[in-house]
Amino acid sequence: MSEYEISTDPARLDAARIHHWLSTDAYWALGRSRAKQDSAIASSLNFGAYDRATGEQLGYARVVTDRATFAWLCDVYVAPATRGTGLGTALATAVREELRPHGIRRILLATEDAHGVYAKVGFEPLARPDNWMALFFE
């Protein structure tokens, strides 16, 4: 992964690119407004993945966390031309390693199609999914 750099520096994020990726190509965020995405970025721990040679942003991951006990990994996206290179796994690994020193006991995520990517980093299905609940607004 030496050709990529992963950074949590918010100044490096290409918010327009992130919005375009997610709102047009990510099944979980299709149609998300730019204002909603910018608000999500501002309130989260963000990870950008960049080409070391050009500085171009090639991937993104967002974490909602209190940086003490809990984290939710979401909005993980790798540019189509870069998929299959291990960058998604590298992003998930960077999240795990950034949060590990804080003593966070659990990092959750939801995925429809990338279970294998996250399993490489140690994620596994919930042992007791019946213990979890959700509240949805229409």
pLDDT by residue (tens digit) across 57-97?
999 999 999 999 999 999 999 999 999 999 999 999 999 99
Report how many helices (DSSP H) and strands (DSSP E) the chain contains, helices first: 4, 5
Cα(79)–Cα(85) distance, integer angstroms: 11
Domain ranges in the chain?
4-131
Neighbours of 15 (CB within 10 A): 16
The residues near 133 (Cβ < 8 Å, ≥ 6 apart) are: none
pLDDT tens digit sequence for 34-54: 999 999 999 999 999 999 999
Domain covering 4-131 assigned CATH 1.10.10.10 in the classification:
no
d(CA 58, CA 60): 7
CA atoms of 77 and 5, how far apart (whole Å):
15
